[in-house]
Amino acid sequence: MSLSAGQPRAARWVVVTTAVASLVWFGAPAMAAAKPTFQMPFACGERWEGSTRPSHSPSSLSVDWNRDANDEGHLVVASAAAVVTSVVDLGDSSYGLYIVLDHGNGWTTLH
């Protein structure tokens, strides 16, 4: 139904009110949450090697990053803007020591 100046004011009000109410009742189309702009979690110019395996836990998409024979003490940075939500120490099992970063909109990473 289109609105025109010739329609009575009450009829236009009903059409507009119905349109607004339907957006509130059924919801406006949701905007897709923006994906963070992820970058490598270490400084430019450094050489790191990544490895994975099909049985990698908790996901086959996990990547282990190592630098030379000993990466202890080397700076690792967040792969995108984030807030630290957990610090976990599993000792010698699985990941060992890691942090969980919340990047917003449901995106998290482990470092």
The tokens for 71 are: 């990466």
DSSP assigned state of 54: T
Q: From the centroid of its chain, how far is CA 43?
A: 22
Q: Is the pTM of this model over 0.85?
A: no
Per-position pLDDT tens, the chain of length 111: 454 555 555 555 544 445 444 444 444 445 566 889 988 888 888 888 888 888 877 777 888 888 877 777 777 788 899 999 999 888 877 677 888 999 999 999 888
